[in-house]
Amino acid sequence: MVGAMNRERNPPAVHDHDQPSEDVVALAEGITVKRDRLLASLVLIAGIATLVGLPFAFRAGAEFFLPVTAALVIAIALVPMLQFFERRGVPSKLAAGLCVIIFIAAMVFVIGTIVIPASNWIALVPQRIEKVRAALQPILDLYKNLDNYISHIADKIQVSQGSTRAVRIEAPNSAVGLLASSAPHVLIQLFFALLVIFFFLAGWTSMRKRTIVSRGSYEGALTTARVIQEVVDATSTYIGTITLINLGLGALTALILWFLGMESPIMWGGIVAVANYIPYLGPIVSAMLLFFGGLMTFPDAWSALLPPAAFISLHLVEANFFTPMVVGEKLEVSPLAILISLSFWSWIWGTTGALLAVPLLIILKTVFSAAGTPDIAGFLFERGTLTHVGDADEEESDERREMGPAMVDTKKPAT
């Protein structure tokens, strides 16, 4: 009895070897932290390498990536038209064909409105260059002394002399000449882009359905459907709205130029409408071209300033009042992001890249808004990513922080 009571009062002690020691736990935590740090470093290096290499890959493979990207952006913008036809019982392939035919008709209208008259203007440049020079003569006289001085300095520092050869640039003066001067691969790329648009639209409904149904959860299916719809809505809304605004701006510009007596006002209105797709740079190019066209039409430089002045006035009203009111805050994009995107895609694909800069930026912005924007600063600086947990220096700092209160001298109370 006494032994049993003693065993109840004093239960058997649990040995320390039954539970992991603090050293083992600390070692396991240190290994986990270092493993996470290594994986994060590898992911960071791979991400940086991808970001650095992609632009050069896009630029080197422009003959493939450019038509495919342009075709996908145009196809996404045409999805609402495809859905309009499908809701009325038109089969998907026939609806895709109708969308492509409408797009081709619009392109033919643009080419007939802008390219053919512009080729005639280019053919007239050698004949009217003296008129342009005469109109600019008062302005050129202001810099005559500076020009003479620069020519004098250039003659002194010239290090080599040789025979010069005059180069004559013949501009196409007809649609046949313009077509003959075009590179064949451009036509091949255009045909390839049209095929991509057709097959994308023809398989859009089934592809969207398969993408949503293949998700493993109901929540994932809803998220996928929402992202797809938001990308289509944002891209088509922006391109459709900007197209209507640019058409209105071009029509008003053409009307004013017709009133001023400028030749080919519809062509100039089309140039303004197309160039206005490029933020910031497009209006500047339009104003410069209108000024040069005015010099070829009007007798003096002051009269030649009227067309660009009229366009700039219309553009200021459109850019500062009308476009923000129509587009709204839903598609509002940072001007800095627009400038960076414009510079990036212009460097990679030239003028076509500049036209695609804003639509591509909107697509990326919509995807990141739905899926979550990458937190680069948190990835780099948050604890557990690139920290030094488990190192000797940090352990020493932790010990000092814990022992700090005990090492502070305290005043003894007065007796």
pLDDT at 390: 43
pLDDT at 388: 44
Chain length of the chain: 415
C-alpha angle 250-253-254 in degrees, rounded to nearest 5: 85
At what angle are helices 62-87 and 335-371 packed, to 10 degrees? 60
CA–CA dist 38, 351 (Å, integer):
42
Residue with tokens 């510079």: 343
Closest CA to 37 of 389, 394, 398: 389
Residue 244, CA atoms < 13 Å, CB-side half-sphere: 9
Alpha carbon of 48 to those of 44, 62, 252, 368, 379: distances in Å?
6, 22, 47, 18, 13
Buried b (16+ CB within 10 A) or exposed e, 270-291: bbbbbbbbbbeebbeebbebbb
Tokens of 263: 């030749």
Residue 361, phi then psi, degrees to nearest 5: -65, -40
At what angle are helices 92-110 and 204-213 packed, to 10 degrees? 120
Query: Which residues have C-beta within 8 Å of that of residue 334, sequence separation ≥ 6?
Result: none
Alpha carbon of 184 to those of 68, 159, 335, 389: distances in Å?
18, 42, 37, 61
pLDDT at 9: 53
Break the chain into its structural domains and give their ranges. Answer: 57-139+176-372
Query: Which residues have C-beta within 8 Å of that of residue 350, sequence separation ≥ 6?
Result: none
Counting as low any pLDDT under 50, the low residues of the chain are: 1-2, 5, 14, 159-182, 384-396, 399, 403-413, 415
Closest CA to 231 of 370, 96, 92, 333: 370
pLDDT at 380: 60
pLDDT at 251: 92
Query: Which residues have C-beta within 8 Å of that of residue 125, sequence separation ≥ 6?
Result: 171, 296
Q: What does pTM read for this prediction?
A: 0.68
pLDDT at 6: 53
Q: Do 75 and 200 contact (CB within 8 A), yes or no?
A: yes
| pLDDT tens-digit readout, 20-76 | 567 666 666 667 767 766 776 777 777 778 878 888 888 888 888 888 888 999 999
pLDDT at 167: 42
